[in-house]
Amino acid sequence: MGLLLTLLAFVIAIGLLILVHESGHFWVARAMGVKVLRFSVGFGKPLLRWQRSPEDTEYVIAAFPLGGYVKMLGEQDGSELPPEQRARAYDQLPPARRFLIALAGPAANFVLAVVAYMGVALIGIPGLAPIVGTVSPGGLAQRAGLVAGDRILAVDGHAVDTWEDLRMDLLAAAVSGERLQLRVRSPEGRTELRTLSLRKLPPDSVGPGFVEKTMGLGPYLPPVVGAVQTDSPAAKAGLQPGDRILAVDGRPVFSWQDLARRIEAHPHQRILLRFQQRGVTQERSLTTEYVLDAEGHPQGRIGIVMAPLPADLIVRKERGPLAAVVYGARQTWTMSVLTVEMLGQMVSGRVSPSNISGPIGIAEAAGASFAAGLAPYLGFLALISISLGVLNLLPIPVLDGGHLLFCAVEMVMGRPLSAAVVQKAQMIGIVLLLMLMSFAFYNDILRLLKP
């Protein structure tokens, strides 16, 4: 069922993104008076096709779904068309109009992102409050003076409502600057500023695990027991659902991560737990179980599961229609800039290329967000649509950005590039695109092979 859900979410996402992208080209071409011969979602052998009459556009769903195209009259052989059809040929348009047709596809993806983020804003996504639960020794957060219990209020002046907002803002700041400033409210209630230096970060540090691994920050998860496994050390010691763990071996426990780390560090050893049960503080001595983690390292376990998060740690912010439009436009702009900066940092070597995902990684993300609900799935669609829009604007022949470059050169020179130059450039573009796709597949496979 999980695999089917993932495939369904992936097919819906890719189909919608391609449809929107190619529709941008289609409608602007039609508005320019160009005859569109074929509108295809997918490449290769047509599986389904529909055409109202021989003179109308042929609509196709093809076998290979990772892409699509709009085939226009005269796109390649306009010079051989009969005189009566020349007026509707793509290559007879001035370069400025061809520029707009090429631009329309990526622009449609950005519009889709705005609409998707508007949906996210209207629905609202429940998120974890941006309260620091763990600060790893030696991380950027500890060096900046952050402590467990701090609530992050803003990153470089931009207010954050949830831990996911914090994660994205920290990643954006890390990619674009050498330092960032956090406004925090301390556990004692004081509002303070913390400055983090981001100089000389290793290339593989900026990515999905940046907040946890490099900054050394984890969200606050209360050390409250949600379930106790039968015949486990915890059950034998009398722990019950709802118990709050206060200390391990006399050392206070602030978060669930603290608790897990201390228990895991004592495989098959005697530990002393202090906990609160129905308002009464108790202490129990127990021996942890000896288990191996995914990498074969020994760790302790006592057989408890974390309780669901309390309502005061869940933040759900819904916006009205006007605020949703503003949020959608701002979020699309922010993520677009972040995507461009990430690409630039990959070229310079500051950000690891391992952050590039292929179809497998996208499918996994699609399935996870789809299972989480409509708002997370809309957020996923917006992010992938932005990625597709930015990718297609790269000045690589065979992509829309390559067509934009050719049109711009023609406008400057006053004449088109020769067919031989265009053909050679397109061959180079195909090779670059195949290399990029191969690298994305390689990253997907490496992620699948990791334990």
Give CA–CA dist 42/61, Å, rounded.
6
Quickly count: other Cβ atoms within 10 Å of residue 167's Cβ. Answer: 20
Is 17 in contact with 388 (CB distance < 8 Å)? yes
At 413, the amino acid letter reads: M
Contacts of 382 (CB under 8 A, 6+ apart): 112, 113, 114, 116, 117, 120, 331, 332, 335
Distances (CA, A) of 320 to 17, 125, 262, 326, 354: 26, 14, 45, 10, 38
Rounded to 5°, angle at Cα 29 from 27 and 35? 110
Is 102 in contact with 96 (CB distance < 8 Å)? no
Tokens linked to 400: 């829309």
Give CA–CA dist 107/21, Å, rounded.
8
Closest-CA residue to 35 (of 77, 82, 104, 86): 86
Q: Which residues are catalytic?
A: 22
